[in-house]
Each structure stands twice: as C-alpha cells, then as structure tokens.
C-alpha cells in the first residue's frame, strides 16, 4: 500500500513540475502579443553534441520600440532561413513560438501524470 501511494505522489509531483515548466508558454499565449518578427541574422553557438546550433536573431516593434533578440528556444537551418516568424512576446516574461507539437505532447503527458498520480494516491487496497 505504501509503495502505491509513494508511486502516486511521485507521479503527481512530476506532473505538476512538468505543468509548471509549461506555464511560461501558456502565459505568453494568453497575455502576450502575437507579433510578426523579421529574421535579421543567425547566431551560431558551439554545442558539445551537435557541433553548431543556429538560433535566429529577431527584430520587431513592440510598444513603439524596436526590439532585437535571439530566439534561443528554437534552432533553424542556416540554409533555409525564414524571412518572418510568428511569435508571442511580453516584456516581463519573454518570447515563445506559441502552440507547437512539443508543447502539446508535454501538456498531455503532464495531465496524464497528474491524473494517474491522484488515482494511485487515492486508491484503497481491498482484500
């Protein structure tokens, strides 16, 4: 019985931790502004595993100011650099690509972990 409850608590905590990590993108999609940003360059960073990772340098207008930042959340192929990208931005929170497949998969995994954690924690052992 203790093993099942411990497993339930572990699943619940892992699901909540994953949901907390996804909350930044959720807040940006809810409260941020959807902006069409121009890709003005590429920032190449040496990586231990992959050689070089290429990040787009974005430039856009936000509240009558010109903002220029590196989107280090998504890498791009330097041969196929897009001219524009749709992003969500808020000054205090940061930048997000929006609702992506990775975001959807991790959201589903988080919900499943929380549900099974609650079920395992509340299950009574019947003999």
Measure the CA–CA gap between 8 and 6, rounded to whole angstroms: 5
**pTM check: above 0.75:** no
Do β-strands 51-62 and 94-96 pair in parallel, antiparallel, or remain unpaired? unpaired
Which tokens hold the place of 77? 């192929």
Return the percentage of the chain with pLDDT > 90, whole number: 20
Closest CA to 22 of 117, 113, 99: 99
Measure the CA–CA gap between 83 and 88, rounded to whole angstroms: 17
| Three-class secondary structure assignment of 51-97 | EEEEEEEEEEEECCEEEEEECCCCCCCCCCCCCEEEEEEECCCEEEC
Give per-residue pLDDT as tens, 80-113.
Answer: 777 888 888 888 777 887 777 888 899 999 999 9
Q: In the chain, where are the structural domains located?
A: 1-32+98-127, 33-92
Mean pLDDT (whole number) for 31-42: 85
């Amino acid at each position: 019985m203790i093993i099942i409850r411990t497993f339930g608590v572990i699943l619940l905590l892992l699901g909540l931790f994953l949901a907390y990590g996804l909350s930044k993108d959720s807040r940006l999609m809810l409260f941020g502004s959807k902006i069409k940003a121009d890709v003005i360059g590429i920032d190449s960073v040496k990586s231990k595993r992959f050689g070089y990772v290429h990040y787009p340098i974005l430039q856009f207008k936000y509240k009558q100011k010109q903002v220029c930042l590196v989107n280090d959340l998504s890498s791009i192929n330097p041969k196929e650099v897009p001219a524009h990208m749709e992003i969500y931005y808020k000054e205090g929170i940061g930048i997000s690509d929006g609702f992506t497949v990775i975001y959807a998969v991790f959201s589903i995994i988080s919900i499943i972990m929380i549900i099974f954690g609650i079920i395992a924690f509340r299950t009574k052992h019947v003999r």
